[in-house]
Amino acid sequence: MITLTLAEVATIVGGTLHVRRDESAETVVSGVVDTDSRNMQPGGIFVAKPGDTTDGHRFVGAAVANGATLALVEHLVDEDITQIVVADVVMAIADLAREVVARVRAHGTLKIVGITGSNGKTTTKNMLARILQDEGETVAPIASYNNEVGAPLTMLRVTDTTKYLVSEFGASGPGEIARLAGLVNPDVSVELMVGMAHAGGFGGIEATVKAKTELVHALAPGGTAVLNADDPRVAGMAPVAEAQGNDVVWFGHAPTADVRASDVTVTASGTTSEVLVDGATIPMNLKVLGAHHVMNALAAITAARVLGIEPATSIARLETMDLAERWRMQVLGNDRVTIINDAYNASPDSMAAALRTLAQITEPHERTVAVLGAMSELGEFDGEEHDRIGLLAVRLRIQRIVVVGSAARRLFISAIGEGSWDGEPVFFDDADAAFEYLKGELRDGDRVLVKSSNAAGLRFLGDRLGGLFS
């Protein structure tokens, strides 16, 4: 974070400053800002956020022990640290993030990219950050820091020398992206796709479109919307950008895309394609598995192109990435048994893409095994979407379907109803039972996909299976 005095912080967040006796209102802070006391460093600001299972106020002492200089609190805590009392610490860090970014932007060359979409946000964010980091100081979210807490905490990592801020914007309901993106008003807004992820929270696909369009509305004057030419719902956002006087550039497979891909091939060692841009054809060889990640790469290349980075340079940097993110198409195991751990998150679109990738990378003499858990936040669409995935798994001729958890039982029943062509699907109540079964079931030549939403916890099952064959 930039350097601020305690008095400035208090004014920005609208709080009451309680200064420790050996400090003054002019004492400066410039360290890390975090809700986790374990991440504190000397000079840091600890945010005592109340939670569902615990209360950050209980950990102010631990933050002090780790060097925190200031605590943002909702009530005074009996600890030897300067405190600013605010009505809501989440609103306070949003206000602080807005001001910090505005100050850096006002006197520097900071460029801001916002990314949203039903799938692919974190992978695209990581790809773009990989491209940008060789150009100058780049701040991007850790893991999926894309909500009302994570997004401001990421923004607060900018310094006076930061050249690029990449912000990932998730949402569980209308208005959330508008609030978060409105803190920084990106120079470039990237819209990946609109699918069924979190549709339950939005109330349907049209409401989801409206919510995702909030990022285009939030563009800074003179900004650019980077849109998916293959998704009609995203393409429909172009008039919004144009009405604001902003530019639109396109990525995708469609011939109208400014940056497009062709000849996509997926193997167990990676994903290859040709990228057509500015009249040139550039081969791209990604180590990341999955045809769907080509679209994420195109989005990152297009955003970087808007920022003045040549596509060939971007592609060369993307080809150095071994992994998009832990638990996202992460390849584990060995030459005998391959485990693809993609269980950090799941939506109907990403589940389908992962299953297709499993089928694509498996040779005729090998066996496909899909270990599947529930997809979260689908609301009234939950049943039909789990049905659809169960049917798809069978139609892709996945040879062993292992369903885990009661929330995914509908998927299991649908797969049975469709009729697996090589053995009946099996169901287990929990990951431990599934692990015991798979220990005896997996054999040489198996390609195993582990896929579920985060809440299902199958990412840890994927890690355990990878450990068996490491």
Does 212 belong to an annotated binding site? no
pLDDT digit string (tens) for 390-442? 999 999 999 999 999 999 999 999 999 887 555 679 999 999 999 999 999 99
190: CB partners within 8 A, 6+ apart:
113, 114, 115, 116, 117, 124, 128, 226, 299, 302, 303
pLDDT at 394: 94
pLDDT more than 90, % of the chain = 82
Q: Compute the average pLDDT of residues 185-200.
A: 83
pLDDT at 39: 93
The residue ranges of every structural domain in the chain are 4-87, 92-318, 330-468
pLDDT at 244: 97
What's the CATH superfamily of 92-318? Mur-like, catalytic domain (3.40.1190.10)
pLDDT digit string (tens) for 220-252? 999 999 999 999 999 999 999 999 999 999 999
Does 120 belong to an annotated binding site? yes
Does 439 belong to an annotated binding site? no
- Give the pLDDT band of residue 454 (cuts 50, 70, 90): confident
CATH topology of domain 4-87: 3.40.1390
pLDDT at 57: 97
CATH topology of domain 330-468: Protein-Tyrosine Phosphatase; Chain A (3.90.190)
Q: Compute the average pLDDT of residues 343-369.
A: 93
Asked if the domains at 4-87 and 330-468 fall in one CATH topology, the answer is no
pLDDT digit string (tens) for 257-268? 999 999 999 998
pLDDT digit string (tens) for 275-309? 999 999 999 999 999 999 999 999 999 999 999 99
pLDDT digit string (tens) for 9-30? 999 999 999 999 889 999 999 8
Does 313 belong to an annotated binding site? no
The per-residue pLDDT of the chain, averaged, comes to: 93
pLDDT more than 70, % of the chain = 97
- Is pLDDT above 90 for 49? yes
Q: Counting Cβ atoms within 10 Å, is residue 42 exposed (0-12), middle (13-18) or buried (19+)?
A: exposed
Does 210 belong to an annotated binding site? no
